[in-house]
């Protein structure tokens, strides 16, 4: 329930920042796909069920607030998730660096799939320039992904939403058990 509450707030916040705040701060060509970056970071940091549901919700939000053919963003995001989860253990083991790489590669893959789906459906006239744009979006994901991956690792840890494996990793290596004072007394 706590995860649902925080992720709902995050979803709304991402939509507002992506559609209202960033366009006023950055030129239209430089705006990263913030929603997808956050969702793919969440996929690595959160328990699998919550992560997958959050990526689905972000894809749906992009479809609802976008102008392209409906469902294409959600479908692209879910295919990307399927591909990324095939090496889920490696992403999780790498921690923030894994989230960064997953977000970057996932952004490129999702955008590429979106263009391909648009071509298959004949819905948008994406040409060579669209594939060049995929490259740019991936580059922005690489740039913006690093601070986001770090920030969201801290955010999810603060919220207590991290995967158990990542919680263990953040605690560091297990210390050797301390000797009990009673044992020392008994030996003496």
Partner 1 sequence: MSYRTGRTRYDVWVYLALAALLTLLPGGAVRAMRGHALSALQPLLSVSGAGERPATLSTPAAFPNTNTSAGRDAMPAASQPNATAFLELQAQIARLREEKNALRRQLEAIGGTAGAASDAPPPGVWARLIARREVFGDALLGLEAGTQDGVREGAGVLYRGAAVGRVVSAGPRACSIAPVTHPGLRVAARLVNARAEGLLSGSPGEDGAPRCVLDVYARELQVQPGEQVVTSGLDGCFPPGRLLGYVKDLKRVDEMRWSLTVLPACDAAATEGLYVLTGAAPEVPWPELNRARTAGR
Residues of span 130-169 touching partner 1 by CB under 8 A: 130, 132-133
The region of 11-19, 96-104, 156-164, 167-175 touching partner 1 under the rule CB under 8 A is 11-19
DSSP conformation class of 41: H
Say whether residue 93 binds partner 1 (CB under 8 A).
Answer: no
Say whether residue 120 binds partner 1 (CB under 8 A).
Answer: no
At its nearest, how many Å lie between partner 1 and the CB of residue 13? 9
DSSP conformation class of 17: I
Binding flags for partner 1, 19-38, as an x/- string (CB under 8 A): xxx-xxx--x--x-------
Structure tokens at 18: 């992506």
Cα separation, 77 vs 39, in Å, equals 9
Cα separation, 16 vs 20, in Å, equals 5
DSSP letters along 91-130, please? HHHHTHHHHHHHHHHHHHHHHHHHHHHHHHHT-S---HHH
Say whether residue 15 binds partner 1 (CB under 8 A).
Answer: yes
The region of 97-105, 121-129, 144-152, 174-182 touching partner 1 under the rule CB under 8 A is 121-129
């Amino acid at each position: 329930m706590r995860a649902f509450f925080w992720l709902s707030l995050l979803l709304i916040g991402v939509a507002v920042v992506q559609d209202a705040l960033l366009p006023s701060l950055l030129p239209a060509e430089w705006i990263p796909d913030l929603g997808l970056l956050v969702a793919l970071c969440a996929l690595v940091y959160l328990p699998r069920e919550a992560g997958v549901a959050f990526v689905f919700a972000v894809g749906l939000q992009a479809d609802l607030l976008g102008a392209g053919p409906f469902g294409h963003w959600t479908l692209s995001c879910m295919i990307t998730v399927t591909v990324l989860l095939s090496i889920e253990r490696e992403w999780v083991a790498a921690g923030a660096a894994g989230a960064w790489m997953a977000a970057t590669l996932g952004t490129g893959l999702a955008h590429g799939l979106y263009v391909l789906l648009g071509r298959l459906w004949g819905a948008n006239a994406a040409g060579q320039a669209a594939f060049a744009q995929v490259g740019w979006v991936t580059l922005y994901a690489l740039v913006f992904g690093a601070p986001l991956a770090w920030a969201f690792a801290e955010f999810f840890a603060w919220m207590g939403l991290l995967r158990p494996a990542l919680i263990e990793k953040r605690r560091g290596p297990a210390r050797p058990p301390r000797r009990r004072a009673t044992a020392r007394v008994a030996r003496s």
